[in-house]
Amino acid sequence: MRRNSPVTALFLDIGGVLLTDGWGHEYRALAANAFNLDPQELEKRHSQAFDTYELGKLTIEEYLNRVVFYEQRPFTPAKLRDFMFAQSTPYPQMIDLVRTLKAKYGLKIVVVSNEGRELNAYRIRKFKLDGLGSV
């Protein structure tokens, strides 16, 4: 018979758990509207580049160059990057719950994400997720 072991660690995803999704299809649709981009072309090019970006083999600048700035635009990559980052919002009750559980039970918190490096770093810094545990 197996003994019940206490839970010692909690593994959490950032997107959809602690924060909104980072650069999901709904945010790309908002970007297409806000920046007057062709949404189908944006999705096509995103699907071709995102896995490589997500794996850290492209910087955010390289990703944006492949997906949006393959032609001249009336806005800068920095404007679009700022828009991307601004879509991240916290789920404060979830963050508070995780902090409470960590303190009450001495849990190790491991936060994972499949976002690109720069977006992930921004989200961790902006919402102080590094204080939750191992990131």
> CA 109: distance to chain centroid?
18
Which domain covers residue 118, as residue numbers?
Answer: 1-22+89-135
DSSP string, 56-74: TSS-HHHHHHHHTTTS--S
Residues 2, 36 within the same domain: no
Residues 79, 32 within the same domain: yes
- Using DSSP's 3-state secondary structure scheme, residue 46 falls into helix
Q: Which of 83, 89, 88, 91 is nearest to 30 (CA)?
A: 83
Mean pLDDT, the chain cut into blocks of 10 residues (135 residues total) = 77 93 93 98 96 92 97 98 96 94 91 89 92 61
- Distance CA(68)–CA(54), nearest Å, equals 17
Where is the domain boundary, 87, 105, 120?
Answer: 87
Residues 40, 56 within the same domain: yes
Residue 135: the pLDDT is 40
Residues 12, 32 within the same domain: no
Residue 130: the pLDDT is 86
